[in-house]
Structure 1
Amino acid sequence: MFNLKSWLALLAASATLSAASVIPNTVAKRDISCTFVISPSITPDPSTNLESELNWIFIRSLLDASPTGGPIHHAGSVIASVSDDGKYTVTDSEITSTGFTDEEVAATVTGFQGTTVTGLTTPAIDWTYESVVC
């Protein structure tokens, strides 16, 4: 025979399990900060928006290394200085990526050292991560 209490309990349990499976994976705000020294293959045109270029380089590098392909958050790449030999010191902070722990973010980003990524400018600039510290 139909038992209303049992049916309602089953319905409530099913709804709870369903709701748990659709709750998005949220990332708590973190504060992983990194400093890069990167060198361009050619001298950038003075009209190039280098902060946009370097943001793209960083995001592309992290997306390529991400086990989930994103989403990624960071406060933005900021040029701290340019050396006499044309190397850029760049800082980035609040770096997070879904699927990464803080330690994995830092390990992944420091692993960029020695890699080269092609930028978006025309002519294309190849940017090499000379050093990375997080």
Structure 2
Amino acid sequence: MHYDATVRYRWTLNKAAQGPRMLAPDALVRHLLRENLADIAHKYRILDKDAAQNAMNALLGQGVQDDEKRVHIDAYVELRISKSEKAAAVQRLNEETKLRTAHARETIELDLMLNRLTDPSLGPVWWLASMGVVYG
């Protein structure tokens, strides 16, 4: 699952930067944008599109630069998800919720059984009754 992203950007070279002249600044800019935005996108679920977009634009709003500060990038991103991606994500979320609910229910049942078995006065009586042992 993935976002469809539209990135609008503008870059400027820092003429005061030291080092060799950049041969392909636009390729570097696209690489920096792709890497920075992908790092943020991986932290969000597909259904959290708005939060992911806000986080990306917060980073882009500060301006992005390469390590040598040779290029400064101003950018804005807009994210979209297709209907099929959204439907798949909703289905996956529902399945995860069912699984977590079943796991939580089983955990509670096991905790109750542990409490019952370790109760000094009730444990042995309950255990014998559950095994079908008849008194008297």
Q: Under a length normalisation based on structure 1, what TM-score does the superposition of the two structures give?
A: 0.39
Point out the structure with the larger helix share.
Answer: 2
| Higher CA-based Rg | 2
